A and B are shown apart, each in its own frame.
Chain A
Amino acid sequence: MTLLRQYRIASFLLVLLAIISFAIAELDFTMLFIGVVLATSSWYVTEGPRGRALPEWVANLLVVSLLAWTAYDFMMFRDLVEAMAVLGEFLLWLLVIKLFAHRTNSEDRQRLTLATLLVVAGCLESVQLVFGVLVLVYAALAVWTTMLWRLTLSAESARASRAANAGFALPLEIAIGRRAAPQFRGLVIIATATIFALSAGVFVLFPRFSGRTGGPRHGHSVSGFNDEIQLGNRDRVNDSRRELFTVRWKDSSGALHRAVRPLLLRGAVLDHYDPNQQRWSSDRRSTSIQTFRTSVGDHLSKIGRGDVEASLNDSIAEIEMRSLATDVVFSLYAPVAMATPETRLIAFDPTTMLLRDVSTDRVGRYWSYRLQVDQQPSTALLESLATSESSTERAVSFPVPKMRAIAQSMLNSAKAGSNLPSEPQADSDAAIRWTYNREIARALASWMKANFTYSTDLSSNARVENEDPIVTFLQSSRNGHCEYFASGLCAALRALGVDSRVVTGFIAIEFDDDAMHYVVRESNAHAWVEVRTGEFAWTAVDATPEDTLLRIAGENRSFIDRFRWIYGRVEFLWNSRVVAYDAAAQTTIAQGMQSQWRAALGERMTSASNALRTLAARFNLGAGASAFWFAIIALGATTATLAMLIVRVHRNRVRKGAR
């Protein structure tokens, strides 16, 4: 195949790759399927044996329709990120229309430009590894296509100028040397490699401004975690095995080991249920948020007042993000102290015991942190963490009328065969109330574990009209995932007057014995309940059957999972080295290089100075005069070398000119 014929295929592949890249960036597989099918069929339609193209008026009509559709979408968008997505979709469909148009130089130029803009729009949408790899492939393909395009364009223009004077000028006879195609491939490879190397340099040196917020939709990488729960939709829950972060669990002696029970990593506390929208959310805005700066290194910054000494119950959780960029600090109950590799500003909410990174460069970092937690906190510790707002008791109820009866029925069933304490009187001691709360919650959770089934697929569940999904779950279906279990338990407890709240986060149940850490995946996103068991104390109660979770985690493992760790490592490198590369990383590299340079230069200077001293001593130049004489000699040698170089260059010029 000649060079000029390769261009058609190269440009088509480039456009196809741009479409695939954008659809992957958007995680829209419908768009991917339709776009690829249409693009592929365009090749047959325009380049096939019939070689037809879309009539111009039809293409124009389609473009106008697309514009109208995009304008409507623009009016509906909510934020800038969505606007960019709409713009990208517009570019994609415009590109597909252009694929069916006549192939002219101007159309080719438009296609290549649109394809590049589409990839840039994708960059604004995603930073996923797969998309990044596609962008790299696109760049390499773009180099090849652009170089071919130059040749094709020149050939076409030369032919056109001859054709314009047909009958007078002779047809173009393309002058070509030997082995044009292999040499062209070599040039493309060299150019691509050089561009990649140079771009890496520019990438490293490109100024990053701290304090900027925004960036791509890191949350767009579905992590499973959400700071609200929307019930009622019957979608499958996220069962992706993508590795989000790892947790190393150390006891007070610093030894790594596996915890007795699964680790519940808290991310959000949801204490408000809206029966109209069937949604759990956090509407309580705490007024006593405390901020502190984390320590760097081994020292841990105390959270709260920090006036309570560490106890034997304290453990250390080292959490390292792999593919999740978030400012939420996933912590166990109750956090005591915290450290990060670099100083971060952390906000602590005493009412929920949640931590959040509020540093100004909240770019979505693939960071790591160490947390000291006390899983059985003493009252003194809790008091040191809490504020007066934390101890405020509230009237507990659940805004669904039928729930009281359902909860009572559940309680009666749970009481059967057990010796649960009776409901305390209103004027009874607080300790009795707290014990009652804990026992009731545990009893209901055990009963639910025994009588409810866990399922990630709710598509087969019948939905009852005008009935709250929690009621349906507790009364009829008795089938759901962790969000339903947590919602059902929390609703029942509240209906019985027990103060409780839903907590979302992750459950660490998969322990890697070789690496001695927990691996937390997207599918480990979890929801559970916390029950008030003290003035400041809350106890986690999980109604979701753990054995079912473990069994599902085991079932989800496939043959690919054996090699998934490779992808995980690459993705971690991508996220930590490329996506999270920022001003701090630049400073670190610069400081490292500076110290290396200094060390290397210092060695050279010292050895040169020693050599000069030796020479001065050998020729008896004297201590004071040696530097002066050597400077004169160095100046003379430099001048002579420069003169020789100039003469040589001049001679070469003359010789080449004569040739």
Chain B
Amino acid sequence: MTYRGALAVNATPCHNGNVSLVTQLPRRRTRLVRAGAVYIAVVIVIGLAAASRPNNLLVWVFSALVAAMIISTFASGILMRRVRALRIEPRRGRVGEPLIVRYEIRNISRYVPVYDLHAHEVLTSERLRCVGDAWILHAGPRDTVHAESVFQPMRRGPVRLCDFEVSTTFPFGLLRRVLRFAQSGDVLIHPEIRFLRHEILARVTAGGVGGQRLASSAGGGDDYFGVREYRAGDSVRQIAWKRLAGTGRLATIERSRAVPPRVRVLLDLRSPTDSLRVTANERARDLEESAIVLAASLLSLADRMGYEFALSVAGVDLPPIALRRGHFHREKLMSLLAALDLDAPRTVGNGIASSDERATIIAVHPDRSDTTIAPRDSWHFTARQLESMCEITRAASESTTHADASSVGAAEERA
């Protein structure tokens, strides 16, 4: 199954690209906010006072309050009548990084401006948490304004964004007029990437096949690779004179090609979640997720160190991915990890028996190491080792984040 197919298992893309057109008018609703309820109570009290005390000035104040209520009811409806909105969601996000969703608000009215618009996502998945709604101060007649909401991805996996609401309490904050736009969009949340210590990969690739740093084909290096028949155009300097003297046939010496170290991460998901061995304080699903995070972190570290890397997942019907380098390759692997469905039935026996890739194989297990899944010279890690492999532990990372936040707050205060 291809990557697209794997993604399609959990989430059906509903549009071409990341922007889908709104094909129907928004649903409109009006909600009474708390301030509005208080306001109505106050108006009723003043109305009773005005009725019981024949004071015309009080009656006028009551009338003005009632008029403000009527205006509030109709004005927000008129202002929002010609507001159209479009969500521009990103294709992917990552756990631990802000996910920014943009909204394009169009005011197609000729004359009426709109103020104080909130764009709010109606989330049906727990994978996302909103940490800042989009807010638009003003959109003039025929204006198009962009605003952004910030979400915190909580778990990896595909997320479907269905409806979003654009609302306002303008002009007086008594009623909230809501436009609900139906626009589906899919976002794939990649697993979290932890910053692992550099020496881990350096050590596992220091010797053995992964550390040869030689390609299986000839190149322009210094080391000897082999001899082949002379071809026209070969440099005279590369001719194997001894071979010529012995055999009388022209031969050319080939030099090896220097290649970066190679790492293949093998994620072991053969055991169903229920059969994992966990302690009293652990949850089996968390261990599996940690294993995925460790695999993603290893791949990310390999990418940062310039290695060629690949991913194999045992227990899932997924063919091994070839060794490659680069950002796109990494994103492809991350998407693959993101789309893994741990609730799907597992397959048995598709580990790596032997490999001629000359790559270091790192097997990542959720609960305990199983050396039978990979050749003998492979490395095995478990999910429990994740914290110890990190450059910065999670607690330190959080304290650093808080320190950053307080410093930002202090900076804003100074400003």
Contacts and interface: CB of A to CB of B under 8 A. Distances in A.
Interface of A: 3-4, 119-120, 123-124, 126-127, 131-132, 135, 139, 143, 146-147, 149-151, 153-155, 158, 161-180, 183-184, 187, 191, 194-203, 206-209, 212, 214-216, 361, 363, 578-582, 653, 656-658
Which has the most chain B C-beta neighbours within 10 Å: A162, A169, A656? Answer: A169
A162 B147 contact: no
B318 interface: no
B53 interface: yes
B405 A166 contact: yes
A151 B57 contact: no
Given A139-B64, A206-B63, A657 B25 contact: yes
A198 B70 contact: yes
B171 to A, nearest CB: 5
B138 interface: yes
Interface in B53-86: 53-64, 66-68, 70-71, 75
Contact of B137 (A151, A179, A216): A151
A150 to B, nearest CB: 5
B132 A199 contact: no
Which has the most chain B C-beta neighbours within 10 Å: A163, A178, A361? Answer: A178
A149 B173 contact: yes
27 contacts: A123-B58, A127-B56, A143-B68, A147-B170, A150-B116, A150-B173, A151-B116, A158-B133, A161-B131, A165-B150, A166-B404, A166-B408, A167-B402, A168-B152, A168-B401, A169-B150, A175-B135, A175-B146, A177-B113, A178-B140, A184-B138, A194-B67, A199-B63, A206-B63, A215-B55, A579-B57, A653-B25
B241 interface: no
A449 B173 CA distance: 69
Contact of A199 (B66, B152, B173): B66
Given A151-B115, A177-B143, A195 B408 contact: no
A321 B58 CA distance: 22
B51 A203 contact: no
A206 B59 contact: yes
Contact of B55 (A123, A169, A175): A123
A161 B137 contact: no
A578 B100 contact: no
B172 interface: yes
A172 B132 contact: yes
Contact of A202 (B23, B66, B139, B412): B66
Contact of A191 (B71, B98, B150): B71
Contacts of A215: 53-55
A124 B53 contact: yes
Interface of B: 23-25, 46, 49-64, 66-68, 70-71, 75, 98, 100, 105, 107, 113, 115-116, 118, 131-141, 143, 145-148, 150, 152, 169-173, 401-402, 404-405, 408-409, 412
B171 A191 contact: yes
A194 B107 CA distance: 23
Contacts of A151: 115-116, 137, 170
A559 to B, nearest CB: 31
Nearest to A151: B116
A208 B115 CA distance: 39
Contacts of A163: 409, 412
Contacts of A361: 54
Nearest to B146: A175
A3 B56 contact: no
B138 A147 contact: no
Contacts of B402: 167
Contact of A162 (B53, B71, B132, B137): B132
Contacts of B131: 161-162, 164-165, 168-169
Nearest to A109: B35
A120 B46 contact: yes
A206 B62 contact: yes
B408 to A, nearest CB: 5
Nearest to A80: B53
Contact of B113 (A169, A180, A203, A580): A180
Contacts of A582: 54
A207 B62 CA distance: 12
A174 B113 contact: no
B113 A183 contact: yes
Contacts of B100: 170
A132 B56 CA distance: 10
A195 B145 contact: no
A150 B57 contact: no
A165 B115 contact: no
A178 B143 contact: yes
A154 B58 contact: no
Which has the most chain A C-beta neighbours within 10 Å: B59, B132, B409? Answer: B132
Contacts of A170: 98, 100, 132, 148, 150
Nearest to B404: A167
A162 B64 CA distance: 37
Nearest to A150: B173
Nearest to B60: A203
A180 to B, nearest CB: 4
Contacts of B66: 198-199, 202
A155 B135 contact: yes
Contacts of A579: 56-57
Contacts of B133: 158, 161
A171 B24 CA distance: 33
Contacts of A169: 98, 131-132, 150, 152
A363 B52 CA distance: 12
Contact of A123 (B57, B68, B115, B409): B57
Contacts of A149: 173
Contacts of B57: 123, 126-127, 131-132, 135, 216, 578-579
Contacts of A179: 140
Contacts of A195: 64, 67-68, 71
Nearest to A180: B138
A505 B40 CA distance: 47
A170 B118 CA distance: 17
Contacts of B152: 165, 168-169
B51 to A, nearest CB: 7
A4 B50 CA distance: 35
A369 B402 CA distance: 81
A187 B408 contact: no
A202 B148 CA distance: 43
A199 B138 contact: no
A513 B50 CA distance: 42
Contacts of A135: 57, 60-61
A177 B68 contact: no
A325 to B, nearest CB: 11
A198 B412 contact: no
A263 B66 CA distance: 48
Contacts of A154: 116, 118, 135, 169
Nearest to A179: B140
Given A175-B147, A200-B63, A216 B55 contact: yes
B71 A198 contact: yes
Nearest to A209: B51
B64 A199 contact: yes
A146 B172 contact: yes
Closest 7 CB pairs of A and B: A198-B67, A202-B63, A177-B143, A167-B405, A199-B63, A180-B138, A177-B140
A659 B71 CA distance: 29
A208 B145 CA distance: 50
Contacts of A187: 113, 115, 171
Contacts of B56: 127, 203, 578-581
Nearest to A364: B54
A210 B58 CA distance: 17
A143 B170 CA distance: 12
A200 B50 CA distance: 15
Contacts of A155: 135, 137
B145 A176 contact: yes
Given A120-B58, A123-B58, A170-B98, A158 B63 contact: no
A177 B401 contact: no
Contact of A183 (B70, B138, B150, B172): B138
